[in-house]
Chain A
Amino acid sequence: MGRAPLLFLGGIVATAVCAEIVLRGLPVSTATMTGYYQDPDILAYPAHHTWTMATGWDLRNPHTLRANNWGFAAEHEFTADPEAVALIGDSYVEASMLAPRDRPAAQLEALLPGQRKVYAMGTPGTAMLDYAQRIRFANERFQIRDFVVLMEGADARQALCGSGNIVSRCLDPETLEPRTARHPRASAWTDLARHSALAQYLMSQLRFKPATVVKAMFTRKPPEEAGAGAGKVAPAAPDPEQLARAQAMVDAVVQQFFATVPRAQIRQLVFLVDGRRTSQAAPRTLAELERAHLILRLREQGATVHDLEPLYAAHAARSQRSLAVGPYDGHLNPMGLHLAMAAAAQSLAR
């Protein structure tokens, strides 16, 4: 190889090294190192692992999180405590984009009377059947009897295998039979990339996929179309067959959920179901009808269910303040979480 190509490559390498140094000085998300450390059905962090989370290419809402002794992003170390409350859910519960005091477990704990501890057991990218595993786990290991599940309306559908929101138990999307789909072990490349801020930026912040860039190269996007969102098209009214299939799926997920949780050991099981935050008058979509059916079935099983939509509507009537983290992140912000946690605290106080 001649001198010029080597120097050219040297320029590329030097740029990569500079990018690595700069990104190490910025709050780029670092490796979470998740694994099945405590239980084959519970995805958690290594005990006392510390990592950084930020949103998007411009690193919004950066926070450093620390796992407790059982590998959950929680303020407390977990010990057996029958008076504690376990707060179960996905990224809504972990709320890594919020300051620690604004996260749901901290808010719920502040709202509960006495000195009751709230164990935050949120795992991003999980759904209902994974929640059931965590309820089982919390009861077995910590003798917890009171549970609050903060969930999205789509959490039943996300419990289908292949949804991308499964870490262990799921239902086959065709047969609705129970299956297990654990995350594979990280490859050697992933292990290596975990130590590079540049690789983390590409994978975690940008979610870079070469196919996306190749597709963009061959996609014509005139300016007037560039900002047009596909979501602006009014959804068609769901047909009865689709709705029946969705309801059957919800029934199967709910049945499997209650078959997993130790019902006899549970004192209180409170569900908080997120929903539409604005324009309650608009026609209901299939996903929203599915959500309504989920609430119905959970109530039929004897659980306390708070449909958060009426709380959101009451808030909207008195305030212009949004309940979402931002237009770029639909998770509940501290104000939205306060509404939800106040409802949970009320139920737990009974």
Chain B
Amino acid sequence: MLFTTATFSFLYLPIVLIGFFALGRREPALSALWLFAASVFFYGYWMPEFTLLLLGSIGVNFFIGQRIAARQGPARRTWLTVGIVLNLATLAYFKYANFFIDNLEALLGAQFSVARIILPIGISFYSFTQIAYLVDTWQGKVREARPVHYGLFVTFFPHLIAGPVLHHAQMMPQFANPAVYRFNAAHFTAGLAIFCIGLFKKIVLADGIAPYADAVFVPVDAGAHPDMAEAWIGALAYTFQLYFDFSGYSDMAIGLSWMFNIRLPFNFDSPYKALNISDFWRRWHISLSTFLRDYLYVPLGGNRKGRMRRYLNLGATMVLGGLWHGASWSFVLWGAMHGVYLMVNHAFRALTEKLGWRAALDASAAFRLLAWSLTFLSVVAAWVLFRAETMHGASRMLQSMAGWVPQSTDKGLLWWNAGLQPRVAMGWCLVLGVVAVALRNSNQIGERLLAAMQARPAWRAPLAGAALASAVALVVVNTTRSSSSAFIYFNF
């Protein structure tokens, strides 16, 4: 189910909210069970055939978590290994088997008659969430005895499909708090308002710019060569589409959770304001970056084993992070590209510190502008690999962006065939760029709203009315227009 649909907003959400708070007044445990059941229904509504896989995964991981918590000595490590292997094997089968077979076929020049495997939505997110739970349990950070709360932690519908990737410790204290199951007008109103901001980002901003990215990437993947302007505008359009699509989804997930008195961690912090690539990764898809740091980069040795090893660890983490997004060489290359960016960034920082330039550079407005520009352009170039469905397509895009356009290219062909005007595309990019770079982000707006709703009860009713009217209007736009799309991160 999509948050942007009439089914979700006008039917599912009101029913789940009413049931949650009605049951919560009598018995919080029943309310938690209701929300768990509703979350499983939310998942099964789209992919009923994979609901058993989800429930099986939850059951097995809960059982292994119990074993890890109950045992002492080497048995704990054995159970942890079993759990991680099971999760990674499931993920590998559903997500990477097709990729493996395709590459094997290409390598051997053979054609295996093997059926294609369908990727269950959200498997990357719920697998990583549960691996984190097993590791945290092994490290003695958590111990969970209530299966319903565990099931709810994994399936809680706002984050189930596309994150954020959660830590057990972030959620369990909340599920155990009886106040969570009581209606809170301040949380509800602020949550509804943040949900609206997310809807606006997705339905108006991301879906508005999407045709301008598709107009370039789709024909380029099919063999066309864009001119330089088309390539740049297409790449910029996708840069903003992806940000507003995914951060819009995250805002909706956070807003919905607030309505249920649950706080999810922020997943974005104005990433396009970043002044270097490390800063970018502290602001983009924060929950995944944190997961990769805590459960991959640090266990690999992090920065504790010398400079060269640190760079290698960075590269390996980013390549695997790329592969997490999807089973294709373009994602691997995208990850590798960011790995190289990070290595260069760390090396540059080390050099400037050694030369004693660091403070002067940080204080220089010109340097900050240069750093921002370089970071942003590097990210845009890497998104080309992320968006293109073929390596040839990505290569043609990057060539054109670099100014290498074949003589025979019919300039403006891609815009013409899409019935779109480049000046409108540039206008969209400019507006979205200003929103992404110059305005407050939704985390800041949300926190201020929440504080205002708590401090001024009289403001709740008008804000709730305004937010409800806006949400209804946006869902109506999405339902009645001819084009609407799922969230990009649903594919991962």
Contacts and interface: CB of A to CB of B under 8 A. Distances in A.
B481 A56 contact: yes
Interface string A176-219: 00000000000000000000000000100011110011101111
B462 A11 contact: yes
Given A322-B416, A327-B418, A212 B479 contact: yes
A215 to B, nearest CB: 9
B189 to A, nearest CB: 10
Contact of A321 (B417, B420, B463, B483): B417
A325 B420 CA distance: 9
Contacts of A319: 410
Contacts of A216: 5-7, 479
Interface string A49-64: 0000000111011000
B365 interface: no
Given A213-B480, A222-B47, A223-B486, A11 B208 contact: no
B465 A321 contact: no
B423 to A, nearest CB: 12
A285 interface: no
A287 interface: no
A114 interface: no
Contacts of B413: 320-321
19 contacts: A9-B465, A10-B461, A10-B462, A11-B464, A11-B466, A15-B465, A15-B466, A56-B481, A206-B476, A206-B481, A213-B479, A216-B7, A223-B46, A226-B486, A227-B485, A319-B410, A320-B413, A321-B413, A322-B416
Contact of B482 (A5, A16, A328): A328
B99 interface: no
Q: Nearest 4 CB-CB pairs, A to B? A: A326-B419, A11-B465, A11-B462, A7-B461
User: Which of B11, B410, B462 gathers most chain A CB within 10 Å?
Assistant: B462
A334 to B, nearest CB: 10
Nearest to B484: A226
A236 interface: no
B419 A328 contact: yes
Interface of B is mostly: helix
Interface string A5-20: 1011111101110010
A14 to B, nearest CB: 6
B399 interface: no
Contact of B417 (A8, A213, A322): A322
Contacts of A324: 419
Nearest to B487: A223
B470 interface: yes
Interface in B159-196: none
Contacts of A223: 46, 121, 486, 490
How many chain B residues sit at the interface, stated as a range, is 35 or more
A329 interface: yes
B480 A58 contact: no
B480 to A, nearest CB: 4
B227 to A, nearest CB: 13
A222 B46 contact: yes
A3 to B, nearest CB: 8
B7 A219 contact: yes
B208 A12 contact: no
A4 B458 CA distance: 8
Nearest to B208: A58
A220 interface: yes
B46 A327 contact: no
Interface of A is mostly: mixed
Contacts of B361: none
Contact of A218 (B7, B46, B458): B7
Contacts of B5: 216, 221
A165 interface: no
A256 interface: no
B6 A329 contact: no
A15 B469 CA distance: 7
A333 interface: yes
User: Which of B121, B461, B470 gathers most chain A CB within 10 Å?
Assistant: B461
B468 interface: yes
A19 B204 CA distance: 14
B82 interface: no
User: Which of A14, A57, A219, A222 gathers most chain B CB within 10 Å?
Assistant: A57
B45 A217 contact: no
B10 interface: yes
B85 interface: no
B208 A325 contact: no
B60 interface: no
Contacts of B7: 216-220
A214 B475 CA distance: 12
Contacts of A8: 461-462, 464-465
Nearest to A15: B469
A40 B292 CA distance: 73
Contacts of A226: 484-486
A328 B47 CA distance: 30
Contacts of A321: 410, 413, 416-417
Given A11-B463, A15-B469, A326 B479 contact: no
A186 B476 CA distance: 25
A333 B45 contact: no
B402 interface: no
B23 interface: no
Contacts of A10: 461-462, 465
A209 B6 CA distance: 13
B370 interface: no
Interface string B266-294: 00000000000000000000000000000
User: Which of B7, B419, B424, B460 gathers most chain A CB within 10 Å?
Assistant: B419
A207 B462 CA distance: 29
Nearest to B417: A322
A208 B121 CA distance: 31
Contacts of B483: 328
Contact of A217 (B10, B418, B466, B477): B10
Contacts of B418: 326-327
Contacts of A4: 460-461
Contacts of A213: 6, 10, 476, 479-480
B168 to A, nearest CB: 29
Contacts of B410: 319-321
A333 B410 CA distance: 18
B476 A14 contact: no
Contacts of B465: 7-12, 14-15
Contacts of A329: 419
Contact of B468 (A5, A12, A333): A12
B473 interface: yes
Nearest to A205: B481
Given A11-B468, A223-B490, A227-B485, 18 more contacts: A7-B461, A7-B465, A11-B463, A11-B466, A14-B465, A15-B470, A16-B469, A202-B476, A206-B476, A206-B481, A213-B479, A319-B410, A320-B410, A321-B417, A322-B419, A327-B419, A328-B482, A333-B416
